[in-house]
Amino acid sequence: MTRRTRIPFAQHPGPVRPSRTSRRATCTFAAALVLMAVTAPVTGQQYDVLIRGGTVVDGTGAPRFEADVAITDGRIVSVAPEGIDPSQARRVIDATGQIVSPGFIDNHAHVQQSIAQYPIAENFLRQGITTLIASLHSGDQPWPLEPFASSLETAPNVGFFAGHTWTRKQVLGMENRDPTPDELEEMKALVDETMRQGALGLSTGLLYVPANFAKTEEVIELAKVASAHGGIYVSHMRNEASGLLDSVREVIRIADEASIPAQINHHKAAGAAQWGWSERSLALIDSANAAGLTVVHDLYPYTASSTGSSILFPQWALAGGPEGFAERVADPETRARMEEDMRRIFTTDRVGSDISRIQFRVLRSDESYNGKTLADYAADRGLPNDLETGIDLAIELQLAGGFSAIYHAMEEEDVIRIMQHPLAMIETDGDAVGYGIGYPHPRSYGAFARVLGRYVRELEVLTLEEAVKKMTSMPAQWLRRTDMGILAEGMRADVAVFDPDVIEDRATYTDPHQYSVGIRDLLVNGVPVILDGGITGEKPGRWIRGPVRRPAS
């Protein structure tokens, strides 16, 4: 690894606060009447919104403090421990007994298509999320990016990456081969144009076909293009199970050779054989940063992942798409080779021989099984819950169109260890969903609230200040946004008001369509999208542009 001057992932300085001795004077009777309402429009003109009487957790990790927060023209204009006259605000929000923090930034969400269908994104808002980052991984990217992103009307802010998978498919389709020099130049040109149109960086999903056909050298060349534009690199690594450590090393190599800050999405140690390996993967991240690189990571707070059925197969078996797969299955010798590889994948990287740990989200050939397990499917056919049944049924169902599923394959000790790491941030890895539609992983409804409820309040593995920092200033700084992520004067007025004793996730693996509770008010760019617990229907979200097209703050 080449030692280089590190691109700093520094800490935001906290705002300067007046002394606690300058506390607000006793409220007049008229002001008290204002505070009786959660929101009370008044006639003053100085501030658009005043959030009054709350306890501020500002996102820097500094201790909480009591202060009023004033907002004008989508910006925070005052954070005042001494209090602010409520008659100076058009709208007053009483935050007594509530935490007031920056709105949460979801580092990785699958919203590149679904956000246009569900622009309110209520499942995210109810978690306190005000900004969604679509790092594309295995999905197709909107193209061309600029007209799509600039035309969006959404409740949360949204940012996009250039997708390696989409780029490769445009040039090579589903072929399992290296690009020619001319083809590589064509791929680089697509990344360059996407960056020029406002992408935040390059995203890879190296676990999935066809991205997993790419050698590291191909990714490095594309990452160099993003780096030249000031972008960052984010990755769903090539393997999060038996190949975890080599995959972390690959991310570090890309960061080094492309001279680009790198982020590991949903860091985990999947498969029982790898439980505890997070100690080793975190040590690799620490070593990379000590050597002068910038390598960070994030996670969702669950012990089950969610993805397509393709991960149960060796990558060579899926080359050429469904037709290529069907041809290989039809050949007895090739099928036997495929099954042997699948035995290793099932037992080492996924769920072992217990196929009840594979829970269908969408079974395309029979959606009546959505929410049920592969073991349920087997039992209805008189088949046992064992490894060979799982392999046979996986092949059968892949031929019928495949499925997406929840894989119960992680351990909570690894989740906690990763969460506590100083460079770890929080993500959902979720989708914008319609209530009651489909069978999502509960993370789409609950990830951020789960951190605050289970891991802060119940298990006390993080302080509230630490957790909020991982959700706000850390991702903002990682995205090179100096105007987000801290509750301080001059910052964007993305603000969450929540009850720290109530906030929690309600969605479960068997009942996923349950909104999180505890977020009472939520503002995006100074506009309430949740007010006194109700969705307002407003769409004040903005496109979070990358470094090339970022307007001056």
Domain boundaries, the chain: 104-303+410-544, 307-408
Question: Over 90: is that where the pLDDT of 141 sits?
Answer: no
How much is the pLDDT for 484?
98
Residue 476 carries which side chain, given as an amino acid letter? A
At 344-360, the pLDDT tens digits run 999 999 999 999 999 99
Question: Over 90: is that where the pLDDT of 27 sits?
Answer: no
Give the CA count within 13 Å in the CB-facing half-sphere of 331: 10
Residue 321 carries which side chain, given as an amino acid letter? G
How much is the pLDDT for 14?
41
Percentage of the chain beyond pLDDT 90 is 89
How much is the pLDDT for 244?
99
Among 503, 414, 522, which residue's Cα sits nearest to residue 452?
503
From residue 547, alpha-carbon distances to 40, 230, 398 in Å are 39, 6, 41
Report the Cα 465 to chain-centroid distance in Å.
20
Q: Higher-confidence residue: 518 or 36?
A: 518
At 195-220, the pLDDT tens digits run 999 999 999 999 999 999 999 999 99
How much is the pLDDT for 136?
75
At 104-116, the pLDDT tens digits run 999 999 998 899 9
User: Does domain 104-303+410-544 bear CATH number 3.20.20.140?
Assistant: yes
Looking at residues 497-514, what average pLDDT do you find? Answer: 98
Judge contact between 333 and 462, C-beta under 8 A.
no
At 260-295, the pLDDT tens digits run 999 999 999 999 999 999 999 999 999 999 999 999
Helix (H) or strand (E) holding 360: strand 358-363
15-19, 44-48, 169-173, range with greatest mean pLDDT: 169-173
Which phi and psi (to 5°) does residue 495 adopt? -135, 135
How much is the pLDDT for 366?
96
Instruction: Please report which confidence band the pLDDT of residue 5 belongs to, taking 50, 70 and 90 as the band edges.
Output: very low
Looking at residues 23-43, what average pLDDT do you find? Answer: 38
Judge contact between 496 and 128, C-beta under 8 A.
yes
> Residue 40: how many CB atoms within 10 A of its CB?
18
Judge contact between 168 and 214, C-beta under 8 A.
yes
Q: What is the three-class DSSP state of 409?
A: coil
Judge contact between 25 and 83, C-beta under 8 A.
yes
- Pairing between β-strand 104-106 and β-strand 519-524 as defined by DSSP bridges: unpaired
Q: What's the CA gap between 234 and 165, in Å, rounded?
A: 13
- Pairing between β-strand 47-56 and β-strand 89-94 as defined by DSSP bridges: parallel
How much is the pLDDT for 19?
40
Judge contact between 487 and 495, C-beta under 8 A.
yes
User: Which token pair is 108?
Assistant: 């990785």
Question: Over 90: is that where the pLDDT of 361 sits?
Answer: yes
Question: Over 50: is that where the pLDDT of 10 sits?
Answer: no
Instruction: Please report which confidence band the pLDDT of residue 24 belongs to, taking 50, 70 and 90 as the band edges.
Output: very low
Residue 195 carries which side chain, given as an amino acid letter? M
Judge contact between 93 and 533, C-beta under 8 A.
no
Q: What's the CA gap between 215 and 184, in Å, rounded?
A: 12
Question: Over 60: is that where the pLDDT of 41 sits?
Answer: no
How much is the pLDDT for 17?
42
Average pLDDT, the chain: 92
How many residues are recorded in the chain? 553
How much is the pLDDT for 551?
55
Residue 503 carries which side chain, given as an amino acid letter? I
From residue 104, alpha-carbon distances to 295, 301, 441, 496 in Å are 21, 15, 20, 8
How much is the pLDDT for 514?
99
What's this model's pTM, rounded to 2 decimal places?
0.91
Q: What's the CA gap between 169 and 403, in Å, rounded?
A: 21
Among 133, 106, 130, which residue's Cα sits nearest to residue 448?
106
Which phi and psi (to 5°) does residue 445 adopt? -105, -20
At 479-496, the pLDDT tens digits run 999 999 999 999 999 999
Judge contact between 134 and 161, C-beta under 8 A.
yes
At 509-543, the pLDDT tens digits run 999 999 999 999 999 999 999 999 999 999 999 99
Q: Which residue has the tokens 């969903």?
A: 433
At 237-249, the pLDDT tens digits run 999 999 999 999 9
How much is the pLDDT for 23?
37
Measure the N-to-C terminal CA separation of the chain; round to a whole number of Å: 36
Judge contact between 538 and 516, C-beta under 8 A.
no
